[in-house]
Amino acid sequence: MPKKILITGAAGFIGSNLTDHFLSRGYEVVGLDNFSTGKRANLSEALQHQTFTLIEGDIRNPKDCHKAVKGCRYVLHQAALGSVPRSIKDPVTSNEVNVCGFLNMLVAARDAGVSRFVYATSSSTYGDSETLPKVEHIIGQPLSPYAVTKYVNELYAGVFSRLYKMECIGLRYFNVFGQRQDPNGAYAAVIPLWVKQMIRLERPVIYGDGEYSRDFTYVLNVVEANEKAMLAGNDTLKNGDGFVHQVFNIACGGNTTLNQLFETLRSNLSRFNPEIANLEPVYGPFRTGDIPHSMASIDKARRLLGYNPQYSTARGLEMACEWYWRVIGSECFPVLFAI
């Protein structure tokens, strides 16, 4: 029988990509989502599989967590309330979901005897640290409530590893992008938001001078990292205490300024509509809580997980633009897509 995996946040951007991947590998997958930010459409393929079970529930409810994890060998915990600006506006809800919900899932996984708990953390934990590239053991002061919640997740996972001998692995995602990332809403991430605006021939806003930089990471690299973390031998992952709790940077190991990002997106999208090549950005004030520069060292993930990102940032942006053009372009230019 295939091994059983629980993926929390299964209807979300990253969660749905993970769900499709593991179903294609023959695993039995349970998806838990409350659809506060996830989309049912993201699970359209998964729902065709007999080995997929969808549980509509909330990680803030311990009963939902225990129900979802029953019989599962692995947990890939992706459910969270993202966005630095959202956490600044509403820190209480961010804490309830990202900290209380995370703790509920840890307890449920412990009680169910799960073999390994792999969870999504964030590059925001590096805070005001100016060290580049970012290495896992050097962090600064958090700059947002969201960053605090993700750092608390790492602390809790470490404690559960030591107290209950759980195997916990945290993956610090660096600016993940790709197919199914939602371009709509007040807290849309920069890449899908700008792509949507450019397709509609609108001018994107760059906050600051455009020289802030990020280690943009294509979503299929994140899928690879989760699989590697889930299956890596525990002898390799034991820390100095002899317990399995490690945190890894998951990125491409490069950096792209916002100005460079704009130029790359404009170039990719103008292949579909030459008018996009004439767009110029609008510059606005710097945003509170934004980290100036983010570039990861992925040496630890390469060494201990065998992580080797298959998609460069440039190739990922090209693929993402093609996907968004099919989805959004069909709305904006229905005549073209009818041909």
Q: Is pLDDT of 106 > 50?
A: yes
Domain boundaries, the chain: 4-175+219-250, 190-213+256-292+312-338
> Looking at residue 153, what is its pLDDT?
98
C-alpha span between 62 and 59 (Å, rounded): 7
**Residue pLDDT, tens place only, 217-261:** 999 999 999 999 999 988 878 887 778 899 999 999 999 999 999
Q: Active-site positions?
A: 146
| Predicted pLDDT at 130 | 85
What pLDDT score does 128 carry?
87
Quick check: do 4-175+219-250 and 190-213+256-292+312-338 share a fold? no
CA distance 146 to 35: 20
Rounded Cα–Cα distance for residues 91 and 271 (Å): 41
pLDDT at residue 280, as a whole number:
96
At the fourth CATH level, the homologous superfamily of domain 190-213+256-292+312-338 is: UDP-galactose 4-epimerase, domain 1 (3.90.25.10)
What does DSSP say about strands 4-8 and 74-77: parallel, antiparallel, or unpaired? parallel
pLDDT in tens, 80-105: 998 888 999 999 999 999 999 999 99
pLDDT at 330: 67
pLDDT at 293 over 90: no
* CATH 3.40.50.720, applies to 4-175+219-250: yes
**Across residues 266-283, what is the average pLDDT?**
96
Q: 1 pLDDT exceeds 60?
A: no
List all residues 6 or more positions away from 170 whose beta carbon is below 8 Å from its beta carbon: 118, 119, 120, 121, 153, 154, 157, 245, 246, 247, 248
What number of other Cβ atoms are within 10 A of residue 260's Cβ? 16
Check: CB of residue 125 under 8 Å from CB of residue 155: no
Task: Report the largest interatomic distance among the alpha carbons of the chain, rounded to a whole angstrom.
Answer: 63
User: Which pLDDT value is given to residue 332?
Assistant: 62
Using a pLDDT cut of 90, give the percent of the chain over it.
83
* End-to-end Cα, the chain, rounded Å: 46
What is the chain's mean pLDDT, rounded?
A: 93
- What is the helix (H) or strand (E) element at residue 282, kind and residue range? strand 282-284
Burial class (CB in 10 A: 0-12, 13-18, 19+), 288: exposed
181-220 pLDDT, tens digit per residue, is: 999 877 788 999 999 999 999 999 999 999 999 999 999 9
324 phi/psi in degrees, rounded to 5 = -65, -35
